[in-house]
Structure 1
Amino acid sequence: MAFLRGPRRVSTAGRWVGVAIGLATLAVGERAWRDFTHARRSTPVAAHGERHGAAHVSDGDSVTIEGTRLRLLGIDAPELAQTCRRDDRGFACGETARTHLAELIASRRLDCVWEKRDKYGRGLARCRAGTVELNAAMVRDGWAVAYGDYEAEEVEARRNRRGLWAGRFEWPEDFRRRERGAAPRHDEVDGEE
């Protein structure tokens, strides 16, 4: 029979690990809650229109301006949960793409124009932050692939091994297909070869 010896002591290092895990959990939960409540406030998008103002960046190819959800037309950025590889290490390329889009905007007013909606009701828009055309910049910088437009920018990014093209990645479309249990349409890209 085992005897209880009193309360178990936890090392100082163990306490700090617990605190770090707790803070990380709170940060992830806060971000998820902010994204959830922001998405719920969004308004239906007209078939065509324009929006100007401060933007909330949802991911590498989506923004919200004054409650209107917009997707950048002609590009496809990695999903937030998507990881890629560079130098034999994985990295959160979906998060990196979102961060890059936010840096391109840099708290400037966004000017977006759209002429149609996607199947989720978002306006498919071309957006500018000052003189920067965001759709083209995301592809040129390698943090999105061309999706019907911006082929020349993608060729430039590939040639210069920028962003995603500097490592290995799964096409964002194929990542979404695989998440739904469907077969991918492309081979994985290996820019390190």
Structure 2
Amino acid sequence: MIQRFKPLRAAVLLGLAEIAFLAMAQAAPSLRVVDGDTLVLDGETIRLNGIDAPEIAQTCRSARGRETRCGKDAKAALEKLAAAGPLECKGTELDGYGRRLATCYANGRDINAQMVRLGHAFAFRKYSLAYVKEEELARKDHAGVFAGTVQAPWEFRARKWQVASQANNQAAPRDCPIKGNISSNGKIYHTPWSPSYGRTRIDPSRGERWFCSEDEAIAAGWRAPG
């Protein structure tokens, strides 16, 4: 009799294990890192409060003068930090683009602070002084981008904007260089510092258009890539 019920018992235990695994998978938050200061958690876009990381398309110079892809390095660093443990993001305020501003903790550690301390982001002094100390320490230790030459992300964006506006890119209205593209992914707008900006073409006959600001693009129903 005991032998007869062993396979049934094993099947029941296996079934229970599968149910437990599925429950854990469903409970686990979905996470996607967009760049060095933005992530999508359970479908919600979150902007890490108080920091500004190099843009994905941005490059820097190492201490030896070698060009580095510091924007992509910042994204990789955030992916690693966010995966270090259970992720919790605290904050309720929204920025001008509808993203939630938050301080995120992985396994209880402030990853906003870590990104700055490791030299993968700047303290965003224009909006917060929360991580000024971490930046000062990173500069002192020549950590990350502070080991060589780096342009502040806000300066990089301003320069890209200026160049795109002056170039009158593909007949763009002056000072309105944002490309409102329509693809299989929907209505996506591309800023001059977007990695795909240069290869994106605008066809007004398809309903595509130019925007003068990200606010304008969002209000018209377009969204940022990523």
**Paired residue secondary structure (1:53):** coil
Distance 2:109 2:141 in 1: 20
- More strand per residue: 1 or 2? 1
- Give 3-state SS (helix, strand or coil) of 2:162's partner: coil
CA RMSD of aligned residues (A): 1.4
User: How far 1:89 sits from its partner (Å)?
Assistant: 1.0
Give runs of aligned pairs for residues 1-193 of structure 1, distance below 5 A: 53-86=29-62, 87-106=64-83, 108-147=85-124, 148=128, 149-181=130-162
| Higher RCO (C-alpha under 8 Å, 6+ residues apart) | 1
CA contact under 8 A between 2:30 and 2:43: conserved in structure 1? no
Please state whether the residue corresponding to 1:168 is helix, strand or coil: coil
Residue 32 of structure 2 aligns to a residue whose secondary structure is strand
Q: Work out the CA distance in 1 between the residues paired with 2:139 and 2:146.
A: 5
Deviation at 1:116, TM superposition (A): 1.0
Same amino acid, percent of matched pairs = 42
Kept after mapping to 1: 8 A contact 2:87/2:107: yes
Q: Which residue of 2 aligns with 1:22?
A: none
Mapped contact 2:84–2:107 kept (Cα < 8 A): no
Q: Contact 2:48–2:112 (CA<8 Å) still a contact in 1?
A: yes
CA contact (8 A) 2:37 2:47 kept: yes
After TM superposition, give the deviation of residue 72 of structure 1 in Å: 0.2
1:103-162: CA deviations, max 9, x gaps?
112263310011211111100100001022111000111100001220110111010000
Matched residue of 1:121: which SS? coil
Gaps of 5+ in 1: 1-51, 183-193
Unaligned runs of 5+ in 2: 1-27, 164-226
Q: Which runs of 4+ in 1 moved over 2 A?
A: 106-109
- 1: CA distance between counterparts of 2:152 and 2:45? 23
